[in-house]
Amino acid sequence: MNIEVGILETLLVALLILFSGYYCNSKVTFLRNNNIPEPVVGGILFSILAAIAHSFFNFHFQFDMSFKTPFMTVFFTTVGLGASFKLLLTGGPKVVLFLLIATVYLIIQNAVGVSFAIMSDMPALMGLIAGSVTLSGGHGNGATYSDLFISQYHMPNGVFELAMAAATMGLVLGGLVGGPVSKRLIKKHNLKADEYHEALDDTVTFNPEDHDLVTPKKMMETLFIIVSCMVIGHLCYNALKEVGLVLPSFLLPLLFGVVSTNFCEFSKIYIVSRACIDLWGTMSLSIFLAMALMSLKVWELANLAGPMLCIIIIQTVVLMMFAYFVTFRVMGKNYDAAIIAGGHCGFGLGATPTAVANMEALVARHGPSAQAFLVVPLVGAFFIDITNALVIQLYLSLPFVTP
């Protein structure tokens, strides 16, 4: 029995899924401590109920997903608007250095994923799903690229379910392995926190004016900039498509977001509110994920779940070794570098909140690290999504990845 759900009802169900996730996270300590996103929690719960309805009552829900792509594009446009080059330079050479390290690892992460996917007789694109698409990109990135792979490269529908499972597993593993890596480095090299730490300048992290409050006017001004980037990006997307160059639909709005925010900063014609960007980005991502997870078909995971699990475990070991031998050494081989290595494990497998949670647990026991709490959140929150999109596009241009 097919049950068709209209566009407004679909949005209502998505919001209910989101709020159920908030409720579950407030009650279940494991979910809260591992920073599992609320829409993921609610979406998985709904998918289980949908699987029961499918298996025992032959009910099939057909949702109107007209809002899904616009919400996704809004989120990635806000990612671009948050990428201020001035902010990057203000953060100092350590921020630039860590961004380079993290970007190099994205290339390695995808190389590992693609290699083991091919060795497992899986499509090479599955290696990207078990690579930076989900592990460094998170659930939003995974949902976006799984849709792209299904529509453009004719991948099976189960790719989306695997992407959500991979992103969730990465969050959990990222929260588990970061601490041991840093603790081993601290113990082996007998590292200690500095006794004196300068207070961080608030302008380095978010650069808001004290009077830069979130108001309806500022929210609407920010929305105008977001929609402008989306419209220009969509026009350019269609123009490039006509000449045979097909890019992900969100990539051009993201790049126009980068151009817009940096043009405004250097020309000083307008101050883009980072608080409003963050709010629009958070709301759009939450609703997009809830809508994407509404159609999760858990019964389609069986054939590919085993090989994907093996690849993710291998990815975890590779990241631990990279953070231990490369991130720590390049970042200075000191206490701050050890904490940064633990943070790298957090967002290299999960997300920036996972990285911050790793570092908070470490500094609570071993002492403060102001540099780590400057470097890792700046790179993880503002810049890694930009370089990740470019690295993924690089791999998609390779003939053996997308034959």
pLDDT at 34: 57
63-86 pLDDT per residue, tens:
888 898 899 889 888 878 887 877
Counting Cα atoms < 13 Å in the Cβ hemisphere of 122 gives: 25
Residue 284, CA distances (Å) to 72, 237, 241, 265, 290 in order: 7, 21, 26, 24, 10
Tell which residue, 16, 124, 82, has the closest CA to residue 385: 82
pLDDT at 210: 38
Residue 101 banded pLDDT, cuts 50, 70, 90: very high
Mean pLDDT in residue range 111-119? 93
Q: Residues 376, 343: contact at Cβ < 8 Å? A: yes
Q: Within 10 Å of residue 88's Cβ, how many Cβ atoms?
A: 16
pTM, two decimal places = 0.72
Determine the Cα–Cα distance for residues 313 and 174; give it in Å rounded to an integer.
Answer: 11
Residue 5 has pLDDT above 90, yes or no: no
Q: Measure CA 39 to chain center.
A: 14
318-372 pLDDT per residue, tens:
999 999 999 999 999 999 999 999 999 988 987 777 788 788 888 888 888 878 8
Residue 188, CA distances (Å) to 72, 175, 305, 334 in order: 44, 21, 37, 11
Burial class (CB in 10 A: 0-12, 13-18, 19+), 209: exposed
Length of the chain: 403
Determine the Cα–Cα distance for residues 345 and 335; give it in Å rounded to an integer.
Answer: 16
Residue 59 banded pLDDT, cuts 50, 70, 90: confident
| 3-state secondary structure at position 73 | helix
Residue 288 has pLDDT above 90, yes or no: no
Q: Residues 163, 128: contact at Cβ < 8 Å? A: no
Q: Which tokens hold the place of 140?
A: 């939003």
Domain boundaries, the chain: 2-396
182-197 pLDDT per residue, tens:
999 999 999 988 754 4
